[in-house]
Amino acid sequence: MTAITATAARARLRTATNLRQWVGLLYVLPAVALVTVFFVIPLGMTAWMSLHNWPLMGEHSFVGLDNYVAILRDTRFWNALKFTFYYTMIVTIAIFAVAFPLAIFIEKPRPLTNLYRTAFFMPAVVGFASASLLWSWLLNVDSGLFSPAAYDLGLTEKKVNLLATFQPAFWSIIAMVVWKVAGFTMIILMTGLQSIPQDLQEAAVIDGAGPFARFRAITLPLMRRTLALALILSVAGSILAFDQFYIILRGGPRNQTLTAVYWIFNQSFVSFKLGYGAALSMVLLVILVALSLVQLWLLRKPEGLD
Amino acid sequence: MRRNNVKTMLAKLALAAAVIGGGLQAASAETANIWVRADGSNFMPRIVDAFNKAHKDQIKLDIIPNAEIIPKYGAAAAGGTAPDALSLDLIYTPSFAAAGQLEDITDWAKSLPYFASLSPAHVKTGTYKDHIYGLPFSADASVLIWNKKLFKQAGLDPEKGPTNWAEIEADAEKVNALGGDIKGFYFSGNCGGCNIFTFTPLIWASGGDILSEDGSKATLDSPQLRGAIDLYRSMVKKGLVPEGAQTDTGSNFFAAFAGGKIGISPSGAFAIGALNTQYPDIDYGITFLPGKDGGWSSFAGGDNFVVTKGTKKIGVVKQFLDFAYSLEGQTILAKYGSLPVRNDIAKDALKDLDPRYQVAAEAMAKGKTPYSVVFNDLINSANGPWTQMVNEVFFGDDVDGAIKNAQDTMQSIIDQAPNK
């Protein structure tokens, strides 16, 4: 009697568990469908295309790993990748150098805080393409703002074409990206700052720690996860940079600002080699995943801390 | 009872559908879809309108931005929604034909009584492996334009344009000396397409070339190319060219001269129509792009008319092209910015138009067009070797290195091209 009841109960329990699992699956189904349609299938398609000679027009043919072998010899792609890393490094440092002080500045309530927050965050809601068009005009030597203004104020002898040589052109882009992105990073960092318990800071003050020591020993370690998030977003975004270089510089001056994505775009839609473009995308994907893993590992939770 | 109602209703619907369908069939005027790049947005709608008014079969025209027409067409072709025909920048005809995308129209083309008078540059690029895939539609030839008002102010003869390189530089210097915002010379220094159109004729007119006849060899390292580079460098160095030229990717190609503050600029026949209609105040002259010591050459550009492989509307398309080749069609084209492509009736088509067209028409007739299945990669691409080279040699410090680099890159692109 008892045995029967127990079995029945177990069976009922199993059905209940089963049912719960099925219901759970039902709940995540929309998300799974979205991921499948918009990520898994395109990714599989890209991988499949990368094994073909796939012109934009005409017949495609299977070529195995030929595209990947060609990538090894494609010096212009590796140069583009080198430039992309250089750009990512500089722009990430620049964004953090601006966003961190801003985050500290707006974290504490003070008069007009909301105004500052909004103002700093505003450029982040502009699309990258629109922002690039705006700056493309600002930087124009004849009809823009910076060069004519500097000339009219007597700062320069003649109108300087900021986009004509590498250094000014590159730093103009950095300035534009920092203007556009720092506000977003600032908000992420601010939430990190706000999650640090006030009593820790107060205890440190009582112990006689100065502001710098508090920043190094309390703020930074407790912001590990926030920093990791902001860093990964910034690095991934920068490695995929395209719009600003395409719209403002066209990869110039003299092809010195061709990024990896720009090169993929050129191969796919200027040279019409979709298969080769797909292979390049796969290579970039692998690099990006590897980089993100390294960052997560570097900023992992230290042992013993929860 | 209710079911019966439904049945009757369905029957009625089916009948209605049949009537509507039959009605459409009875009208039976076919409509062919044609695409054109934005460069043709002035003359194309006019000629399509004229055709539609006079014919039962109709043309539906779509105008596509210049930079998007190729990828868009490729995507449409892959998806089976390509237009029946398109007016295609003639330099792309070889690569489209090589991709197996175009209908072979050799027999029809050769049956045209005026086939021999069609623009040779177009027919040459429209021919791939001895078959004809494209026929001339619109034409544009590069020429040199000068501002007569500024020439007069500078004490030059306003009716006489420069006829060799030394005169270009001397005249530009005189105009530049007027000072203020006025500059002697303008070119788009970061635009491959603009410079193949207007800079290479200087080289051709002096006896050099940048590609071998069949497009299989890059031939950049020539004294003629050097000479032409020296001319531009010298003018840049003397400050005869506005600062913006160095980064102009082509957006100012026409606008700079139209602003009225530039003495001389290489341009195209299209500028005649554009200046006359949009900037009637500018008094300008048109002459040939000269060689170092005289002589002249021109880039014969424009569009070829190509038919998508397997289209069912080829009859309408042929009717339309017939119409475009008639005197009426050629006159409409000429009036709105394209040169005639039929040399036997070009004079008649241009008869009542601005006499400056005659210079451009002559330039077109003897113009030259480079042939390559990888033209886009070599020349037009904003990141291609030609674009990079022109910018480096006009404004940079290392002319030798830039030419060598471009020569090597161009040759490797040619060698790696599929189905050359």
Choose the mutation target among A162, A270, A273 for the interface with B, i.e. most B CBs under 10 Å. Answer: A270
Residues B87/B305, Cβ–Cβ less than 8 Å: yes
Report chain A residues whose CB lies below 8 A from the CB of B381: 266, 270-271
For residue B101, give how far its alpha carbon lies from the nearest alpha carbon of chain A (Å).
Answer: 6
The whole domain housing A254 covers 75-298
* Contact list, A160 vs chain B (CB under 8 Å): 243
pLDDT value of position B21: 45
Among the listed residues B29, B4, B40, the one whose alpha carbon sits nearest the alpha carbon of residue B339: B40
Residue B219 touches chain A, beta carbons under 8 Å: no
- A142 token code pair: 């004849």
Kindly state the helix (H) or strand (E) to which residue B190 belongs, with its residue range.
none
Kindly determine whether residue B249 and residue A255, on different chains, have CB atoms separated by under 8 Å.
Answer: no
Residues A86 and A44 in one domain: no
Are A44 and A149 part of one and the same domain? no
Domain assignment present for A274: yes
Q: Are residues A13 and A151 in the same domain?
A: no
Q: Is the ipTM of this complex over 0.90?
A: no
CA pair distance A305, A297, nearest whole angstrom: 15
Co-location of A205 and A86 in the same domain: yes
Cα A281 → chain centroid: 16
Name the band, by pLDDT with cuts 50, 70 and 90, for residue A304. very low
Measured distance CA(B191)–CA(B251) in Å, rounded: 9
Q: Among A34, A49, A64, where does a domain finish? A: A49
Contacts of A140 in chain B (CB under 8 A): 244
Q: Which of A170 and B121 is assigned the larger pLDDT?
A: A170
- At B7 the pLDDT is 53
Number of other residues whose CB lies within 10 A of the CB of residue A30: 9
User: For B409, which residue in chain A has the nearest alpha carbon?
Assistant: A76
Q: Which of A275, A288, A245, A236 is closest to A71 using CA atoms?
A: A275
Q: Which of A56, A58, A140 sits opposite B100 (nearest CB)?
A: A58
Residues of A with CB below 8 A from B391's CB? 252-254
Indicate which of B191, B381, B383 best probes the interface with A, i.e. most A CBs within 10 Å of its own CB. Answer: B383
Rounded Cα distance, A109 and A219, in Å: 18
Asked if residue A12 belongs to a domain, the reply is: yes
Give me the helix-helix angle, B314-325 and B327-335, nearest 10°.
70
- Cβ–Cβ of B242/A142 closer than 8 Å? yes
If DSSP codes are grouped into helix, strand and coil, which group holds residue B113? coil
Q: Which residues in chain A have Cβ-Cβ distances shorter than 8 Å to B190? A: 250, 252-253
A195 located within any domain:
yes
Written as one string, the DSSP assignment of A99-118 is: HHHHHHHHHS--TTHHHHHH
Can you give the C-alpha Rg of chain B in angstroms?
24
Residue A158 sits in the same domain as residue A281: yes
Does B244 contact A269 at a Cβ distance shorter than 8 Å? no
DSSP state of B80: T
Shortest distance, CA B235 to any CA of chain A (angstroms): 17
Q: How many CB atoms lie within 10 A of CB B11?
A: 10
Q: How many domains does chain A have?
A: 2
- Specify whether A92 is located in the same domain as A206: yes
- Which domains does chain B show, CATH number per domain? 28-140+301-365 (3.40.190.10), 143-298+371-416 (3.40.190.10)
**Mutate: best of A56, A57, A264, partner B, most B CBs <10 A:** A57
Query: Min CA distance, B246 vs chain A (Å)?
Result: 6
Do both A103 and A30 map to the same domain?
no
Long-range CB contacts (within 8 A, 24+) of A218-222:
A219/A193, A221/A302, A222/A192, A222/A195, A222/A196
Tell me the shortest Cα–Cα distance from B355 to chain A, in angstroms. 34
Note whether A43 and A94 are same-domain residues: no
CATH number, domain of A178, equals 1.10.3720.10
One digit per residue, the tens of pLDDT, for chain B of length 420 reads 444 555 555 555 554 544 444 444 445 688 999 999 888 888 899 999 999 999 999 999 999 987 778 878 888 887 888 999 999 988 888 888 888 889 999 999 999 999 999 988 899 889 999 999 999 999 999 999 999 999 999 999 999 999 999 999 999 999 999 988 899 999 999 999 999 999 999 999 999 999 998 888 999 999 999 999 999 999 999 999 998 899 888 888 998 999 999 999 999 998 888 888 889 999 999 999 999 999 999 999 999 999 999 899 999 999 999 999 999 999 988 888 888 999 888 888 888 888 899 899 889 888 888 888 888 889 988 888 999 999 999 999 899 999 999 999 999 889 887 654
Q: What is the DSSP string of B192-214?
A: HHHHHHHTHHHHHHTT--SB-TT
The C-alpha of A218 sits at a distance from chain B's nearest C-alpha, in angstroms, of 49
By C-alpha distance, the chain A residue nearest B102 is: A58
Whether A125 and A236 share a structural domain: yes
Would A56 be classed as within a structural domain? no
Chain center to CA of A270: 25
User: SS3 for B185?
Assistant: strand
Ordered alpha helix ranges (H), B341-398: 346-350, 356-365, 375, 385-395
Chain A neighbors of B376, CB-CB under 8 A: 270-271
Domain assignment present for A58? no
pLDDT per residue as tens digits for the range A213-242: 888 888 888 888 899 889 999 999 999 999
Q: Residue A136: name the closest of B294, B247, B155 by CA.
A: B247
Q: Are B271 and B259 in contact (CB under 8 A)?
A: no
| Alpha-carbon gap, residue A174 to A47, rounded angstroms | 33
Do both A41 and A97 map to the same domain?
A: no
Asked whether residue A40 is domain-assigned, the answer is yes
Contact A159 B249 (CB under 8 A): no
Same domain, A163 and A261: yes
Residue with tokens 């606008």: B255
My answer on whether omega of the bond before A253 falls inside 30° of 0, hence cis, is yes
R_g (Cα) of chain A, nearest Å? 26
